[in-house]
């Protein structure tokens, strides 16, 4: 099964070059950069933190990002230790700097989809649509830039949705205990 997944991953990586263009390159570099250190998610979180009725949602997003970071970046990446596709590419094919750390699962994607999960469960649907669009852009940019395999991103999506949903359940329990 892992060989089949790797085969699909390799085909996707090999075919990325066929869809590249200067405009797409700029868009995908910007999308990926927005996901660095969760910058886009903290920016999106600011209105939640400022507007009192949505403040708990903003705090929940921050909690979800921390929880997801712990699971994905601190634990799973160092257990799996999957090499990135970009590590074997020549320098002239690089659009961004080679990340230093492991590939599986995608941290950008996990963070993005944990915010999607929190938004789905706590935010108005127009906000959720914006968050979903941003998450898709950040996640797809990681494959486009060949810093992740498709399976890294798919698992990152699942992991992010699970961590985000779990964080809402934990957060609701904590808030409920404090408001008693």
List pLDDT tens digits, range 120-147. 999 999 999 999 999 999 999 999 998 9
Q: Is 2 contained in some domain?
A: no
pLDDT in tens, 3-17: 888 888 888 888 888
State residue 93's pLDDT score.
Answer: 67
Q: Is 70 contained in some domain?
A: yes
Q: Is 4 contained in some domain?
A: no
Q: Is 142 contained in some domain?
A: yes
Residue 144: both structure tokens together = 């486009």
Q: What is the pTM of this model?
A: 0.89
The two counts, helices (H) then strands (E), for the chain are: 8, 0
Q: Is 26 contained in some domain?
A: no
Averaged confidence pLDDT in the chain: 89
State residue 99's pLDDT score.
Answer: 76
Residues of the chain with pLDDT below 70 are: 90-93, 179-180
Domain holding 142, by residue range, is 33-96+110-178
Q: Is 156 contained in some domain?
A: yes
Q: Is 3 contained in some domain?
A: no
State residue 83's pLDDT score.
Answer: 85
Q: What angle do CA 88, 91, 95 make, to 5 degrees?
A: 100
Q: Is 8 contained in some domain?
A: no
Domains in the chain: how many in total? Answer: 1
């Amino acid at each position: 099964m892992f060989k089949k997944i790797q085969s699909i991953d390799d085909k996707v990586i090999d075919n990325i070059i066929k869809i590249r263009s200067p405009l797409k390159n700029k868009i995908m570099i910007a999308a990926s950069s927005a996901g660095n250190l969760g910058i886009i998610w903290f920016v999106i979180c600011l209105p939640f933190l400022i507007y009192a009725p949505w403040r708990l949602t903003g705090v929940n997003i921050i909690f979800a990002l921390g929880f997801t970071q712990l699971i994905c970046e601190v634990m799973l990446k160092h257990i799996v230790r999957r090499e990135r596709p970009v590590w074997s590419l020549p320098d002239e094919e690089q659009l961004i700097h080679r990340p230093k750390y492991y590939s599986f699962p995608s941290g950008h994607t996990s963070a993005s989809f944990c915010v999607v999960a929190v938004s789905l469960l706590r935010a108005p649907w127009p906000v959720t649509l914006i968050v979903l669009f941003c998450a898709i852009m950040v996640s797809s940019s990681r494959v486009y830039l060949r810093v992740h395999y498709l399976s890294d991103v798919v698992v990152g999506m699942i992991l992010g949705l699970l961590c985000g949903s779990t964080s809402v359940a934990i957060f609701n329990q904590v808030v409920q205990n404090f408001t008693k």
